[in-house]
Amino acid sequence: MSSTSPSVIAGSYKDPAGFVFTQNKEIYRQINQDYSAAYETIKSSGLFEKLWEKRWLVKHIEANDVIADTSLHYKTLKAEKIPMITYPYEWSFLMFRKAAVFTLELQEFCLSQGFSLKDATPFNVQFIGTDPVWIDTLSFEPADPSKPWIAYQQFLQTQLYPLLVHESNPSLKFDLLLQNLNGIKADLTATLLPRRKKLSLSYWMYVYLAKAVNKHTADGTTQKAASPAFTLQKQLNILRHLKSYVQSLKAPSLKVSWKNYYQNHIETAAYTEEKLRLLKEYIPFTETHQFGLDLGANTGKYSDLLHEKNYYVLSSDFDINCIDEYYTQCHKNNKKSIQPFLFDLAHPTPAVGFANEERSSISERLSGKVKITLALALIHHLRVTYNLPLHKVAAYFANITEELIIEFVPQTDAKYMALTAHRSDTFPDYTEINFEKAFGDFFQLHQKSVVKPSQRVLYYLKKK
């Protein structure tokens, strides 16, 4: 088999210990000579195996014949693949909090084994289904209990502060991390929190103190303080206290939410039943656990259906509360192969970081990945609310998915009329014929039915 040349993953080149690259669709991690001693110590300690047993660390095997950069090369690891990479700004509050608690627990466990994390960014956490896993194998180093945690400040800036800011400003979501991958500074956090949140000792310790010391150091009035002697117990105390602080943060509830959609709205029992019956008939069972994407998953009713048909479900919505609720539900019911994440079709996550390459866009990550996509009762929002031409929408879907089940909501539908009630513009192009024409350029019609008793039409399309 001919091999392709290695391609370095841009998000990983900052670490002198090594970097990640792909070759022949496999993921490898090169360990540089810099990290050789630490790697051997960790390897012989059995830490990797212990973390694998807990499913806390992504698995790897040594594959030393694959080399990306000979000048620095010490060893190469072939890493287990993560089904779907999502970034912290695509997580709901509870997912983010889960990742933060997980990071602290991981550090606590590492300390008990004589090691410590040198990074604590949430970008090192990925979700497999609903469970967080640490993906950076080179984050560990032998612990020095006489020194405080090196990644403490990184943890605050990239995990604690975003949570605090989100808790009080839910409409910001975690978008501040998009603007700065290195996290939020203490002073910005302080300005974004209401006065009542500033009355706690925890706030004083983790935000106010950091802000004050930063300012003091920035003024140039202090010399670098000699590191005070530290102990393992002190580190553990801080970790435990931080953990209880993080766990005490509550998911905020936004006023505008879609989560009551099914309970409060149109959908008659007959319509819902018929739609479910048709979908059960359309969606093929997958033996190989292919990717099923649900757009606008809401309460996850149809994501559950994909799950029943054995798909690895990418369950997305633009409403962070829906994701929170569905994530909690999946976690509780042990639905391990459903991965909820935030995805706003009209404002998809862009590529960010140096050269726009460090963290890729959601479109790039989904491109060519998905076997089947559900876009139910969505197209009228894209056409009317977001003014997107049907042809553009069809082209975008064709880039993501092989098969598409899409529901057309006609102009006569109560929901469509509600959308346009206060608008002067009409959408003469928004007809069933034009819809079929636009999607017909990219997809072939496989099945089509009217969802009785409504006039909505369900299409099962396959890419040309």
Partner 1 sequence: MNYLLYIDPGSGSLLIQAIIAAIVGALFYFKNAWFYVKNFFVKLFKKSTSNQQSEL
Selected binder of partner 1 within 41, 153, 337, 361 (CB under 8 A): 153
State in angstroms the smallest separation of the CB of 280 from partner 1: 54
In the list 52, 230, 318, 427, the residue contacting partner 1 (rule: CB under 8 A) is: 230
Query: Which stretch in 23-31, 72-80, 95-103, 206-214 sits in contact with partner 1 by CB under 8 A?
Result: 206-214
Give the count of residues interacting with partner 1 (CB under 8 A): 33
Binding-residue pattern over the window 170 to 199 for partner 1, x denoting contact by CB under 8 A = ---------------x--------------
Among 16, 62, 171, 201, binds partner 1 (CB under 8 A): 201
Quote the tokens at residue 154. 């990184």
The yes or no reply on residue 298 touching partner 1 (CB under 8 A) is no
* Residue from 38, 72, 82, 238 binding partner 1 (CB under 8 A): 238
For partner 1, the binding residue among 36, 214, 434, 455 (CB under 8 A) is 214
Rounded CA separation 324/249 (Å) = 14
Category of 289 on φ-ψ map: left (φ > 0), alpha (ψ -120 to 50) or beta: left
Nearer to partner 1, 134 or 245 (CB): 245
The answer to whether the Cα torsion of 255, 257, 261, 265 is positive or negative is: positive
Strands 26-32 and 73-79: antiparallel
Stretch that binds partner 1, among 134-142, 202-210, 344-352, 370-378 (CB under 8 A): 202-210
Check: CB of residue 384 under 8 Å from CB of residue 427.
yes
> Applying CB under 8 A, does 149 fall inside the site for partner 1?
yes
Task: Output 163 or 372, the one with its CB closest to partner 1.
Answer: 163
Give whichever of 8 and 238 is closer to partner 1, judged by the CB atom. Answer: 238
Query: Is residue 213 close enough to count as binding partner 1 by CB under 8 A?
Result: yes
User: Is 316 within 8 Å of 340 (Cβ atoms)?
Assistant: yes
Q: Out of 210, 295, 320, 451, which residue is the one contacting partner 1 (CB under 8 A)?
A: 210
Beta bridge partner(s), residue 447 = 460
Nearer to partner 1, 153 or 310 (CB): 153
Among 35, 115, 152, 327, binds partner 1 (CB under 8 A): 152
Nearer to partner 1, 224 or 332 (CB): 224
C-alpha dist (Å) from residue 173 to 89, 298, 429: 7, 17, 35
CB of 390 to partner 1, least distance (A): 48
CB of 227 to partner 1, least distance (A): 5
CB 358 to partner 1: min, Å: 18
Min CB(145)–partner 1 separation in Å: 12
With CB under 8 A as the contact rule, the residue among 7, 171, 237, 248 that binds partner 1 is 237
227 is a site residue for partner 1 (CB under 8 A): yes
If one asks whether residue 220 binds partner 1 (CB under 8 A), the answer comes out as yes
Burial profile 354-365: b = 16 or more Cβ within 10 angstroms, e = fewer? eeeebbbebbeb
| Binding site residues, partner 1, CB under 8 A | 147-150, 152-154, 156, 185, 201, 205-206, 209-210, 213-214, 216-220, 224-225, 227-228, 230, 233-235, 237-238, 240-241
